[in-house]
Structure 1
Amino acid sequence: MVDLDSPRGLALRRAQSGNIRDRIERITQDLKEIKKFYAITISATRINRLRNFLHEELNDLSDQPFELYTQEEKVDYLLIKNYLERQLRELALEQTRDQEALQLFPFVGTLISLCEERAAVSPLDPKETAQKLFEVQNQIDQLSNKIQNDSTQFSLSKTSAFRAANTVVSLQGHLKEWHGFYKGYDPLFDWWVSDPYKALKGSLDRVTNLIREKLVGIDPASEDTIVGQPIGRDGLYAELQAEMIPYTPEEIISIGEKEFAWCINEMEKASNSLGYSDWRQALEYVKNDYVEPGQQTQLVSDLAQEAISFVEKYDLVSVPQIAKETWQMFMMSPERQKVNPFFLGGTSIIVSYPVSSMDHEAKLMSMRGNNIHFSRATVFHEMIPGHHLQMYMNARHKPYRRLFDTPFWIEGWSLYWEFLLWNDDRWKKTPENRIGMLFWRLHRCARIIFSIKFHLGQMSPQECIDLLVDQVGHERATAEGEVRRSLNGDYSPLYQAGYMLGALQIYALRKEMVDTGRMKEKEFHDRFLKGNRMPIELVRASMQDQKLTPDFKSFWRFYSLDSTHARR
């Protein structure tokens, strides 16, 4: 028998453990398949299957010979461990939120069972199925009548009611697929089920609309109401833990407020140089410096080339020829601009600018919100050296780490470049340019403040909008789009805070690595990109070759709350 602690035994254990990258890639695909098959997010079957899978993987991971891994393998180990633990926490949180929302729907289990039996291709009795649909429809109609006649009898919060309405919409999609699977192929199914299904669909539509109108307070004539789904203090703590940010939510707000104050001070300096005593007046002047309709695409193209030429001239980061050559530009639809009033970027840049179908006020707000000086900062944030270069490198270096997506790495990198170009005198900046750059930095500070306070229940969506209009200088339409984008659930709760916090982390790491001479600037930037996505603290651990253990915990206090300006 081989002694497992002997050199031969250690080698055997390492060989048996398999490649940690292979493990990550397998888990990625296994989770994708489980979630695709068990597609109904509120299903107890899905929740239990995912929970069992995550626990099994964590248990197996703990048996692996961590001490035998290379530094990068140890980082991978900690990444997948953190990911699995985060998935478990999010599963528990979502289940709790769903349980509160679903107290309205005692009938939901019947509909879930039908859809899951179809996925398993279980035998179906059309007559019995029709009876189930009929009974559920009656329950839904009774609920609708109660809501219609006296909505005050329901103690559900607006957030839970909104979640309930969205759950019904999602469930209807699964029922549509279920009905389409059998329809036409089973004559008895059509004969028994067609009418009950049609009636059920109408009842589900009605109850959804009533929940939104009576329990949430959404005007049925308006599609622009912003509700959002705050996750509370426990949820924020869980998210901060997963992102390896060892600060409390209150400390995060303090960071945002300190950076906000710095931006205002710099904004006043730039405004004074233009002859304005009030920075808001200077900002209005800058916002009115926009190109005429039809010229925005050329402006964006010129700005993109300016940024590429700059980073290449001063050898700041590697820019592969294919990355420079293959980026594309598209225009954003008026509908999408309601959620994304500014540019988007990545593999391509998507430009916000008014179209002829917009009304006069909307056109002016879009042009002012995407003026020349705002656009200058936006383009290098979105393209090169920002997101486009990131996406290019992500696809080619350790691509399996894209599973560990985090706004602190993604958005932090692009905003970090705004820090660098602000500080670099070689990057020419007029006072108008400075105001444009400061607007965006002020905007990212406000994102920290309003997003964290919203999730703590300290700010309403309308108060978030007012903050952006009154204290940052947004157009009201762009402020509404920004808040809608931030709170509608498409982004993680810390996404908006991740811009500024991630940039501060990267900037602090740069001071430790570049300013001390441990790395050249270009080497630092290239290594950061080639490491792919992960919490910044693990980037730091990798670059500094820190001693790692399987129970690694976040400890890096990258921002001093005691100093006036921690990163300067």
Structure 2
Amino acid sequence: MTETTTLTRLVDEFLSWQFDRTPGTAAMLGSLKHDHTLGDFSAQAFADYDREAAGWLERFTAVRTDDLEESVDRDLVISVLRGHRAKSGWPAWRRDPSVYTSAVLFPLFTAFLNRLRPEPELVDGVIARLAEVPALLASCEANLDAGLASPKIVERAAAQAKTGRAFLTRTLPAEVGDPGLRAKVADAAEPAAAAFDRLADFLERFARTATGDWRMGEELYSTLLREQEMLGYGAAELHERGKAAYAELDAEMRALAGSDDWHAVMLGLQEDHPPTPEAMRAEYEVETRRARAFLVEHGLVTLAEGEECRVVPSPTFQRPVLAVASYMSPPPLTSDRVGHFFVPSPPDHFTPEEVRQRLRTNSRAQLASIAVHEAYPGHHWHLSWLAAQNRPVRKVFRTPYFSEGWALYAEKLLREHGYFSAEAVGDAEKARAQELAHVEARLFRAARMIVDTALHCGDMSTDEAERFMTTKASLTPGTAQGEVTRYCAWPTQAPSYLTGALEIERIRDEFTGTQREFHDKVAGSGALPLGLARRIALGR
């Protein structure tokens, strides 16, 4: 038996273990074996996972192979396990209730979104998982530690928990076509909805007693950058890179705007926005189709057979915690290639003014770049193309430093090929507005690098961060508040966009083939830590 065969078998065994320990995630990836349970969320289960993960790390670290592809698979697993080891001393399951709410809402939502089984079987699996919801949410109450949990993070999760009843009792049954099966889902949803009601009440009380800090701290932040993301530097250097990128993009914005006060120009452009959330969705769909046609015309990538990007409103449970567009990939362990671009619809409780602010942050000048980022050749093209490849471990473990970096790289790629030009857009003034918005979108990502590192290293308050994002980028106050709360809850993710895009550009500069060959190769190899993506692309 060769070393490569041993490593292949080890990877398969590891994935089997991972799926069994996280069945909700496995089902979302397309594992039908795991679509009947949400899994064990007891404190003992988390402790067992930590112990077993440490054993897997020892096994993978000991394996040697000369095969490039296999060594990348090994090093990807090692990076994931080292990241988990680092975070075990800062456990999200004791700090953040969304660990539990998301573990219910997303698997149930994607069950009907992807429809991988006939409806009767699909309903059976959903009902089985609904029966587990009260115990799972009870684990949330038992596991949270008031000395570790931050009131800000608890309040954020409480807002999501409040959406649980409507999602479970209205949205979920409405997805079922057969009246009899629909009634069964509605009956099964009621106890689960009651559990969400109890959790929302508990979290509101718990937030008043929680005393923990959401700040990760520079030491852990830097450890994750080095060991999980394999960047080779820590938080301080990332912060400085963000400041340098911001200064360069700020100068470009001044030149494009013809004014030092480019911020005022962008605020003016935001006044031209879709009139309603549904109109916003429709205009995003038009831009998505335009981006796909441009890709085909210029031959920049190879499209996966059967791929389709559907442009739809964001899920109701996602709206209180995410103020920007998002994307959900096809389940990569299946033959399905349909992805979903979620337009950032406002929550039901928003006032008319809050709805207007959400629409302003999705102005017509900004729609083009966002559609490129989320769809073509951004997330949808990348992840539908990746799903068509044959390296399972790379479909399961993905870092935002590549996936978000790729989507931002995609925006600049299309600019290089004239996507935002007057010729492509058909109107000089509209083209200027889209190009300004495109550059501002990169500047916004530089601002994220500055703010996220400063927040978690204790150099910036949330008020200062929100002010920075409204005055140094073009976010409306409400969107800035949602963004900063997201940074508090998800440390290290916000800097991934521009950090990854710049590194992908550097790798492309060293690649010797065509652009299309580069795109197909590097994006088809996964959403790898950037050092591993470099090895794959350059063959060394």
The answer, yes or no, to whether TM exceeds 0.5 is yes
| Corresponding position of 1:107 | none
Residue 476 (structure 1) aligned with residue 477 (structure 2): yes
| SS, match of residue 330 in structure 1 | strand
Q: Letter of the aligned partner of 2:150 in structure 1?
A: T
1:83 counterpart residue number? 80
SS in structure 2 opposite 1:239?
helix
1:432-471 deviation digits (Å, cap 9, x = unpaired):
1122112211211111111111111222222221111122
Q: Specify the code of the residue in structure 2 equivalent to 1:432.
A: A
> Does the alignment pair 1:282 with 2:270?
no
Matched, 1:445 2:446: yes
Q: Which residue of 2 aligns with 1:213?
A: 208
Unaligned runs of 5+ in 2: 24-37, 96-141, 162-196, 329-338, 423-430
Segment of structure 1 superposing worse, 310-319 or 34-43: 34-43
Aligned counterpart, 2:537: 543
Residue type at the aligned position of 2:82: E
Amino acid at match of 1:319: L
Indicate the SS of the match to 1:405.
Answer: coil
* CA distance in structure 1 between the partners assigned to 2:249 and 2:462 by the alignment: 24
CA displacement at 1:86 relative to structure 2: 2.5
TM-score (norm: length of structure 2)? 0.70
Match of residue 507, structure 1, among 482, 501, 505:
505
SS of match in other structure, 1:496: coil
1:228–1:423 Cα change, 3 Å? farther
Unaligned 5+ segments in structure 1 are 1-11, 100-139, 141-154, 171-201, 217-226, 547-568
Aligned residues: 424
Counterpart in the other structure of 1:5: none
Question: For residues 556-567 of structure 1, what are the structure 2 equivalents within 5 Å?
Answer: none
Q: How does 1:112-151 map to 2 (within 5 A)?
A: none
Alignment of 1:276-355 (within 5 A): 276=259, 278-293=261-276, 294-323=278-307, 326-332=308-314, 336-346=318-328, 347-353=339-345
- Structure 1 counterpart of 2:256, from 270, 273, 291: 270
C-alpha distance in structure 2 between counterparts of 1:428 and 1:390, whole Å: 24
State whether structure 2 residue 225 is matched by structure 1 residue 240: yes
Name the aligned partner's letter for residue 401 of structure 1. R
On the 8 A contact 2:400/2:496 being kept in 1, the answer is yes
Structure 2 residue aligned with 1:407: 400
CA contact (8 A) 2:253 2:262 kept: yes
1:348 aligned counterpart, secondary structure: strand
Change (3 A) 1:271 1:165: closer
**Displacement of 1:70 after TM fit?**
1.7
For residues 260-299 of structure 1, give each alpha carbon's deviation from its aligned partner in whole angstroms, at most 9, with x where no partner exists: 1122111111211xxx552122112211112333533332
RMSD over equivalenced CA pairs, Å: 3.6
Give % identity: 20
1:463 aligns with 2:464: yes
Give the whole-Å Cα distance in 2 for the aligned partners of 1:506 and 1:328: 27
Please give the alpha-carbon distance, in whole angstroms, between the structure 1 residues aligned to 2:462 and 2:8: 42
TM-score (norm 1): 0.67
Structure 1 CA distance, aligned partners of 2:410 and 2:515?
12
> Contact between 2:402 and 2:528, CA under 8 Å: does it hold in 1?
yes
Letter in 2 for 1:249: A
Q: What residue identity is the alignment partner of 2:250?
A: I
2:381 alignment partner in structure 1: 389
Shift of 1:477: 0.9
- The residue aligned with 1:3 is none
Q: Deviations over 1:364-385 (max 9, x none)?
A: 2122111111111000110111
1:405-431 per-position Cα deviation (integer Å, ceiling 9, x unaligned): 100111000000122233334641522
- What SS does the corresponding residue of 2:301 show, helix, strand or coil? coil
Counterparts in 2 of 1:288 and 1:26: CA distance versus 1, 3 Å: same
Are the counterparts in 2 of residues 231 and 456 from structure 1 also a CA contact under 8 Å?
Answer: yes
Matched residue, 1:380:
372
Counterpart in the other structure of 1:428: 421
Measured after TM superposition, the shift of residue 23 of structure 1 is 2.2
CA contact (8 A) 1:399 1:532 kept: no
Q: CA deviation at 1:248?
A: 2.3
The CA distance in 2 between the partners of 1:355 and 1:281, in whole Å, is 28
The 8 Å contact of residues 150 and 214 in structure 2, kept in 1 or not, is answered as: yes
1:524 pairs with one of 518, 533, 540: 518
Classify 1:32/1:359 alpha carbon distance in 2 versus 1 (closer, same or farther; 3 Å).
same
1:133: which partner in 2?
none
